[in-house]
C-alpha cells in the first residue's frame, strides 16, 4: 500500500502542506491562503471565478477565504476600468509581501524535494505528473 499511487500522492500532499505551514509559521496564513496569494502574485486583478478554478477551491469556500484575507488586509476587491460591475482581487502591499514569502517557501520545498534527483528525472516526473493531472 505504501507504494501505491494514491498513498504516495496523499502522503506527499500532507508532507508539502506540513512543510509549507512550518516555513510560513508566524505569518498568520491559514490553509488555502498561500496558493491564492501565489496565484495573485502572477495574476493580479483576477476574478474570483478564475482564482477558484486555478486553485481548485469551491467558489463558496473561496468567498469565505477572501473575506478573511480582506479583513487581514492581504487583498482588496476593486472594479476595473473595463468592467465596473464586477469585483476583481488585488494584493495589498502586505499581501504582496506575504506572496513573496509564499513563493520563496514553495521554491525551497521544490528544491528540497528534488535533492539527489537529476534534471532529466525531474523533467520526466513533472511531464508525467502533468499528464496525470490532466486525466483526473
Give the domain extent around 14: 5-135
| pLDDT value for 1 | 59
**What pLDDT score was predicted for residue 83?**
76
- The reported pLDDT for the residue numbered 44 is 93
- pLDDT value, residue 102: 96
Q: For position 79, which CATH number holds?
A: 1.10.10.10
Q: Provide block-wise average pLDDT over 10 residues at a time, the chain (136 residues).
A: 86 92 90 95 95 95 96 94 86 97 96 96 95 91
The dihedral through the CA atoms of 42, 91, 69, 89 has a sign that is: negative
Judge contact between 46 and 39, C-beta under 8 A.
yes
What's residue 100's pLDDT?
97
pTM, rounded to two decimals: 0.86
The predicted pLDDT at position 31 comes to 84
Instruction: Report the pLDDT value the prediction gives residue 12, as an integer from 0 to 100.
Output: 93
Counting the structural domains of the chain, the total is 1
Residue 2 confidence (pLDDT): 79
The pLDDT value given to residue 84: 78
| Helical (H) or strand (E) element with 28 | none
Give me the residue label for grid cell 499511487: 5
Task: Find the helix packing angle between 5-23 and 93-113, rounded to 10°.
Answer: 130
Amino acid at each position: 500500500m505504501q507504494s501505491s499511487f494514491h498513498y504516495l500522492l496523499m502522503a506527499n500532499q500532507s508532507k508539502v502542506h506540513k512543510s509549507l505551514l512550518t516555513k510560513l509559521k508566524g505569518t498568520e496564513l491559514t490553509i488555502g491562503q498561500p496558493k491564492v496569494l501565489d496565484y495573485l502574485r502572477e495574476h493580479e486583478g483576477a476574478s474570483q471565478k478564475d482564482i477558484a478554478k486555478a486553485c481548485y477551491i469551491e467558489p463558496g469556500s473561496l468567498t469565505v477565504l477572501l473575506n478573511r484575507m480582506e479583513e487581514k488586509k492581504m487583498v482588496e476587491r476593486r472594479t476595473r476600468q473595463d468592467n465596473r460591475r464586477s469585483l476583481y482581487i488585488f494584493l495589498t502591499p502586505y499581501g504582496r509581501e506575504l506572496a513573496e514569502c509564499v513563493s520563496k517557501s514553495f521554491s525551497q520545498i521544490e528544491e528540497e524535494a528534488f535533492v539527489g534527483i537529476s534534471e532529466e528525472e525531474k523533467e520526466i516526473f513533472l511531464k508525467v505528473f502533468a499528464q496525470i493531472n490532466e486525466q483526473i
